[in-house]
Structure 1
Amino acid sequence: MKIGLYFGTFNPIHVGHLIIANHMAEHSDLDEVWMMVTPHNPLKKKNTLLEDHHRLEMVYLATQNYPKIKPSDFEFKLPQPNYTVNTLVYLEEKYPQHEFALIMGEDNLKSLPKWKNYEVLLQNYTLYVYPRITSDLEKSNLIEHPNVHLIDAPIVEISATFIRNNIKIGKNIQPLIPEKVWQYIDHNLFYKK
């Protein structure tokens, strides 16, 4: 089985994440997409992050009706901070029957050289890259790499930071979040402070 790994803090998961994950599951050669909830992205600040189990629960609630999209807490059990290259080693040990690929936005492809052992990722895995609107129109020089596949997915520019900031100031952001996720956030008063 070919599994697309979609890493993120999902703080919170929103419809943009689901649109991309579903597009990859339905319009590529991937059999499933695993939403890899990351305890801590080494390139992001941790102070605004909800606890791991809450973010995992929101991904679970958001993906219940998508049989090809699975939530994963795999990185919760690994040494912190998480580096994708290390996670892939552990995944291949646990699931030798699967072939793994990475799903990322064009913005992540541009920052890939900052990732730990990024050359290993490029050499050994297929990268499915979805388009993003970037402030500078300069493309990554990695776009020509044979293992990088640009996917003609919808361009979705919804930011979890925008969602958190708007919840904090009392704005209605319900259309940007799956209904069950919004209910979970609202019930637990997340992002209000």
Structure 2
Amino acid sequence: MRIGIFGGSFDPVHEGHIHLAGLARRAASLDEVWFLPCRISPHKAASPPTAGETRVRWLEIATADLPWARIENYELQREGASYSYKTMQALAEMHPGHEWFWIMGGDQWTALPTWKHPEIIAGLASFIVLARNGSIVPERPGYRLQTVTGEHPASATEIRRALAAGETGIPFLDPRIGA
């Protein structure tokens, strides 16, 4: 099976996440996309996300009608920071025989050299990079890369701001999420 791993805080998950996961799935002919909510991002340790159980519930709502979507809570079951290389190693070991794809945005592709052991991920998975229209995604020697162009106007920062302000009817957010 061809499986895409789409990690993130999903705090909250919004239509942009679902749209981009669908783009990646279609472009790479993935059988499934596994949404992987992180416990604590090493790059965002100063601002911990909403409780993992809540984010999983939000993902269940957002993906309920998507037969190709699965929620993988491996990182939520581990203590401490979520390191992608450890997760990719564990998933490949727990689910052998699959072809793996790590889905990420262009901003994360740019930041990849700051990740802990990205070469381990590269040895186990191809990368699908979601590039904003007009963005150039540079190749990296030794990394299998597929660039998917597309974007969505949703902004997680703006959605979090609106939720904190008590707003309702927030664009790109299912009304059952964040309530």
Structure-2-length-normalised TM-score: 0.89
Percent identity between the two aligned chains: 26
Query: Is 2:34–2:72's contact at 8 Å kept on the other side of the alignment?
Result: yes
Tell which has more relative contact order, 1 or 2 (C-alpha 8 A, sep 6+). Answer: 2
Give SS of 1:22's match.
helix
Aligned pair partner of 2:154 in 134, 158, 167: 158
Structure 1 residues without counterparts, runs of 5 or longer? 187-193
Deviation at 1:155, TM superposition (A): 1.2
User: 1:185/1:95 Cα in 2 relative to 1: closer, same or farther (>3 Å)?
Assistant: same
Change (3 A) 1:6 1:42: same
Identify if the C-alpha distance between structure 1 residues 61 and 91 changes in structure 2 by more than 3 Å, giving closer, same or farther: same
Please give the residue correspondences for 1:9-24 in structure 2 after superposition, counting only pairs within 5 Å. Answer: 9-24=9-24
SS in 1 for 2:116: coil
Distance change (3 Å), C-alpha of 1:42 and 1:133: farther
Structure 2 alignment gaps of length 5 or more: none
Which residue of structure 2 lines up, in the alignment, with residue 190 of structure 1? none
Structure 1 match to 2:90: 90
Q: Does 2:179 match 1:183?
A: no
Q: Deviations over 1:119-165 (max 9, x none)?
A: 2223442000111379xx7x55446765011013x212422221111
Q: Is the 8 A contact 2:88 2:124 kept in 1?
A: no
Asked if the contact 2:100/2:125 (under 8 Å) is kept, the reply is: yes
The TM-score normalised by the length of structure 1 is: 0.83
Shift of 1:77: 2.1
Q: What amino acid sits opposite 2:9 in the alignment?
A: T
- Bigger proportion of residues as helix: 1
